[in-house]
Structure 1
């Protein structure tokens, strides 16, 4: 593929003119030039079939700050190439310590790796992916902790520490000197959804401050005391401050006096030094990640003064099955269950900050100048998204690469995803308009988790499209190099070779709430031999691998967040993936 842009896009994307106007001295990787849905889409004009035409009309609207300076060359320090948190020997609750790193694996399913490419290659772009932070207001009344009576992984002992854990990940990225495979500058960080856990205003504020910087008190309700399942005295949950021998303590979980006070105490995020962008996930868009918005009872319950903390295993299994089967997408049966258990609920302090936020409020939070941080303004979103009611956009990654962030959530309910025809048409058009540039696609859902084609209530007549259809669409464009996503909380890298079309890599990254709590650096390079390589390198947070469990400082809490996640009942070591899903070089042919 030529490195020249098409004539049609050159005029609209004259970054040098914009940068000169902004007083920038030169182009740098990751400058956030956002490209928006065209005016026909924004005004709700009719769209055609999946591959139909939609008039062009994007305009550049945002420029972010500079990327970090490049290092002299490749390095491993601070990545999982150098070391990975590893448990000690024994059974039961295990402490973590230093362990050997994961080697880089070359994958050639889509193109043969040619010798000498390391001496020829030229970096095109490098960036970091965060995914599934699940910043949790763990005292929120709507939470489904009681599903643990039927599924031990339905509640995680580490959830109260999600904020200091995420801050430690920000600190890790800030400490990096560039991209580990090439030494190229890191251009930006992209979050691929489920940034929050319960679609609550409280969590959205915490997320924006974690990413942009500021002081955070991860507490809601009573400003002085924790009011959740971890001081309920219930055997079902780890009671860290109590000497009660709950189910988790019988498995070796520690007694930590002062844990809950520390968990809801103030912490500080330095904010990312890199520009950052957001992609929306189902937990960001839907209450509990699975229910459509709009039920007044659930909205009032979210901010009210009662919380259900226990449920029989039989009732929990029925509720969990309804969520899994999508037989209650807007939560009507869930509402009835809560009403039936009103007398068993515990009193908590009401808090309006726990209210669910709408798509409009999500967008406006990103556009709030208080959260600009390292930029760009809006973090990919713009007023055009607010006006059109959309949560997808495109942006410039480098001179030769564009990024496209999709909205794969379905407002009709359920945790699986899909995209509507209007968005599919916009994606198809954007890729064609930028046919002379490479493209990286970002979404929350994976190709295998986009099976929910329930209509969007806002567009009842619009068809929804599955992950398999999206793979076919992307395979019709030779400029697509990679599809980067999350949702499944597991490292999985999948080669896609579309019959009659083209090839690309799908890169799914493990969450930062479940073990092994990772993020991923992705580098794009031209091997100058008819092939390209996509390097992936996993990173852990900056938290120490091991501290005394009584260390309730901010770094100590972040370390405990990792250790509790490893030991959580129901934790799945397989989420780390195989060696071929971790640190890799993914080779593919030029389109």
Structure 2
């Protein structure tokens, strides 16, 4: 069945009293997350009660407001001005009040009531760096096409989990954090290995970020090629010429077992293009050559700058959405490939595999069952859903990937109609919408091969739908790897904020806490507070422990050749208070 068919057989509004009754009146202050199944009609299913209640302020120690562990207190910053830059503790980022959509009223801090508080992860890009299909050789045409820190995505993500677990509550209100939402590109190469690592990072477990030969790393970083940083070798390469260090034992440490405590909050999942499409760009699950190459024993590690630019251009301009050109390119360069150990764990996973991994009891963690997805999604082949965030707020997770290929997104008519009906039927609740793509990157309306007759809709059309409903407070997304906060204002006073958060693969490696409050004066405030991982800002090249690698992950990323230096965004895109008129 088509993956864009709505799972909703009944989208009757789920009133908050109905939810509380069905949930057995579980207290919001206990941090409960309510998962709404679209096929359950008026019934609601509760997630397992998380440990968030342990973070509440005691009567003797008021929580709100606080800055510890957030970018309000300190941000990783370079200690030297040239060459390879070592990081240390830099000044925090102040909070900026944004008043484009409503005038902030005096005294609101003393009146406000918390509606909900949650954390957004986005663009973790957990990466099997030894995968045969990877585009590392494109670095010959673009230095940022391969990054020296990519082997450390798993310890880096675990450190982010540790940061969230250490937060005492929401920074502004002190309210319990109710859940974490990942807004896509959780994996990088659409490989089963990466999907398993993602599930264990989020829910807890032991992870060995290694495929192929279990004894040692096989890939571009021990290839002897000057194009890539060769950390274990004393030989000079292009990155060492820029000051990158010689770190003997780095590769052995990078593939060593990592332990994740798992989030001590419920968590939900949204799909991104790298989670659905091989390499994030190719609608090629049916291509037998690429599927076999993914698990095979040959890997291309070098190509000319001219060839690299041709592939880069084909990806950027979407001239090869099915990957046929990439397949032919690999065949033409077969003699240049190097031998690696084959591994079936690198096989591409399907949307059904993605859903089954989330529904697997082994990956439940603090819940909810399915992390937002249900067996109804599996039956209908969809990856969008609605869930109860709190007494007064629902969350809506969209699937903005385009099965036809290319990294930009869109939604099908069935999903767009489902979104409209869900907002209408839940008009008594505020709504926060989650997706991977932003409104400006939903420009790919290539048909879904499974539903060639269904129209695809761009970001402007989604903005139009959201603007038509006064209960929409925010659209939270990622994809662009940059902090951007955008006001959307429509006629009739309808408006909402679009909150796009930087990635956890590129420096400055951020996640975001979002707090929703009713100011009791006709306005609502959305507070956004950025957080880094728990790893120390300063690195020690002799420390290759799990924590040391997480710190090194950040510093290597800061120094990555070709990296953009503006991904943190302006002050108005970071720590904010976003004021909005109540609908």
Instruction: Identify the TM-score tier after normalising by the shorter chain.
Output: over 0.9
Residues 270, 185 of structure 1: alpha-carbon distance in 2 compared, 3 angstrom cutoff: same
Mapped contact 1:29–1:186 kept (Cα < 8 A): no
Q: How does 1:138-217 map to 2 (within 5 A)?
A: 138-217=129-208
* TM-score, normalisation: structure 2: 0.95
* Superposed CA offset, 1:28-56 (max 9, x none): 465332223449xxxxxxxxxxxxxxxxx
Mapped contact 2:14–2:42 kept (Cα < 8 A): no
Equivalent residue, structure 1, for 2:56: 70
* Superposed CA offset, 1:291-321 (max 9, x none): 0121110000000000000111101111111
Asked if residue 531 in structure 1 is aligned to residue 523 in structure 2, the reply is yes
Q: Which blocks of at least 5 consecutive residues in structure 2 are unaligned?
A: 1-10
Whole-angstrom distance in 2 between the partners of 1:112 and 1:471:
22
* TM-score, normalisation: structure 1: 0.94
Mapped contact 1:491–1:508 kept (Cα < 8 A): yes
Mapped contact 1:393–1:404 kept (Cα < 8 A): yes
Asked if residue 234 in structure 1 is aligned to residue 235 in structure 2, the reply is no
Whole-angstrom distance in 2 between the partners of 1:501 and 1:154:
43
Whole-angstrom distance in 2 between the partners of 1:313 and 1:62:
54
Q: Which blocks of at least 5 consecutive residues in structure 1 are unaligned?
A: 1-6, 40-56
Equivalent residue, structure 2, for 1:18: 22
* Superposed CA offset, 1:338-361 (max 9, x none): 000111100000000000000000
Equivalent residue, structure 1, for 2:34: 33
Mapped contact 1:30–1:125 kept (Cα < 8 A): no
Q: Post-superposition shift, 1:9? A: 3.5
Asked if residue 485 in structure 1 is aligned to residue 485 in structure 2, the reply is no
Q: How does 1:351-430 map to 2 (within 5 A)?
A: 351-430=343-422
Whole-angstrom distance in 1 between the partners of 2:384 and 2:35:
11
* Superposed CA offset, 1:145-176 (max 9, x none): 11110111100100000000000000000000
Q: Post-superposition shift, 1:11? A: 6.8
Q: Post-superposition shift, 1:65? A: 2.0
* Superposed CA offset, 1:422-448 (max 9, x none): 000000000000101100000000000
Q: Post-superposition shift, 1:287? A: 0.3
Structure 1 counterpart SS, 2:75: coil
Equivalent residue, structure 2, for 1:284: 275
Q: How does 1:178-577 map to 2 (within 5 A)?
A: 178-292=169-283, 293-500=285-492, 502-577=494-569
Q: Post-superposition shift, 1:92? A: 1.0
Equivalent residue, structure 2, for 1:120: 111
Mapped contact 1:199–1:283 kept (Cα < 8 A): yes
- Pick from 78, 88, 91: which aligns with 1:100? 91
Q: Post-superposition shift, 1:389? A: 0.2
Q: Post-superposition shift, 1:15? A: 3.0
Whole-angstrom distance in 1 between the partners of 2:429 and 2:30:
15
Once superposed, what is the RMSD of the aligned Cα atoms? 1.5
Equivalent residue, structure 2, for 1:44: none
Q: Post-superposition shift, 1:25? A: 5.4
Mapped contact 1:29–1:397 kept (Cα < 8 A): no
* Superposed CA offset, 1:367-400 (max 9, x none): 0000000111100000000000000000000000
* Superposed CA offset, 1:395-428 (max 9, x none): 0000000000000001110000000000000000
Whole-angstrom distance in 2 between the partners of 1:560 and 1:8:
50
**Bigger mean CA deviation after superposition, 543-552 or 347-356:** 543-552
Residues 310, 58 of structure 1: alpha-carbon distance in 2 compared, 3 angstrom cutoff: farther
Mapped contact 1:34–1:63 kept (Cα < 8 A): yes
Mapped contact 1:520–1:538 kept (Cα < 8 A): yes
Mapped contact 1:476–1:501 kept (Cα < 8 A): no
Q: Post-superposition shift, 1:502? A: 1.2
Residues 262, 539 of structure 1: alpha-carbon distance in 2 compared, 3 angstrom cutoff: same
Q: Post-superposition shift, 1:10? A: 5.2
Whole-angstrom distance in 2 between the partners of 1:13 and 1:262:
52
Residues 516, 63 of structure 1: alpha-carbon distance in 2 compared, 3 angstrom cutoff: same
Whole-angstrom distance in 2 between the partners of 1:411 and 1:37:
23
Asked if residue 133 in structure 1 is aligned to residue 116 in structure 2, the reply is no
Whole-angstrom distance in 2 between the partners of 1:117 and 1:530:
10
Structure 2 counterpart SS, 1:532: strand
Whole-angstrom distance in 2 between the partners of 1:380 and 1:588:
27
* Superposed CA offset, 1:200-222 (max 9, x none): 00000000000000110000000
Equivalent residue, structure 2, for 1:54: none
Mapped contact 1:445–1:486 kept (Cα < 8 A): yes
Whole-angstrom distance in 2 between the partners of 1:329 and 1:344:
25
Structure 2 counterpart SS, 1:569: coil
Structure 1 counterpart SS, 2:103: coil
* Superposed CA offset, 1:442-494 (max 9, x none): 00000000000001111111000000110011000000000000000000000
Structure 2 counterpart SS, 1:98: strand
Mapped contact 1:12–1:60 kept (Cα < 8 A): no
Mapped contact 1:199–1:288 kept (Cα < 8 A): yes
